[in-house]
Structures are given as structure tokens and as C-alpha cells.
Amino acid sequence: MKNLLATILLLFLTTSMFAQEKRLEQVNETTYKAFIYDENGELNQRGLYILVDGNLRAHGTWKDSFGTTAYFDTGRLVWIKPNGQRKYTNQEIELHRLRNKVKRLEESLTSL
């Protein structure tokens, strides 16, 4: 599960870094539809942004071309569901991160 969560987060959250183009379509004064295309021009991710204090924050349901779905609440990841797998909540992901951090700290202490 450790590797699965890391892979899921890495894939979904960094895909836009490798995307060639992000298109925003204004829905209303504070909401924008986002379409993120890969280097081949194919749609890779789609979702919504909302404007909060002058910054765009992911909001609502986001989907990618691999079948992963995630839900954001004003920029905070609430849950993520990889294609064909169960849904992982933000609390589960944060708990996993903290466990890994504690493990690394324990390993550092034992090597002193």
C-alpha cells in the first residue's frame, strides 16, 4: 500500500508538470474549467479551479486520462480514487506520509 499511495499521488499530482498546455475557460467570476493537455495534445486532466484571494485553487472533481478521480475542496485534496481501486481519503494519505516520516526519523536516529 505504501508504494501504491506514493505512485498514485506522484502520478496524479505531477502529471500537470509534464503537460504541454493548460487551458482555462471562465465559467463565472470566480470559477474556471481547466483542461490540461499532454505533449501530444491529448486531454490529460480536467477539473475546476476557483479564485480565492487572488489565487486559483483546485476545487471539485478532477479526472485524468488514466481513470483516476480526485476531489478537492478549495485547494485541499479530500480524496483520490485510482481507476479500479478503492478511494483513499486525505486523512489516510496524510497518515501514510507521517508514518513514512517517523520511519525515516527512527532510521536516522538508530544510525547515529
Mean pLDDT of the chain: 86
Task: State pTM to two decimals.
Answer: 0.71
Q: Is the pLDDT of residue 19 over 50?
A: no
What's the pLDDT band for 58 if we cut at 50, 70, 90? very high
CA distances (Å), 90 to each of 9, 10, 34, 42, 64, in order?
A: 11, 15, 22, 29, 18
State phi, psi for 76 to the nearest 5 degrees.
-100, 125
Centroid of chain to Cα 103: 24
State phi, psi for 32 to the nearest 5 degrees.
-130, 135
Question: Is the distance from CB of 96 to CB of 2 less than 8 angstroms?
Answer: yes
pLDDT of the residue at 45: 92
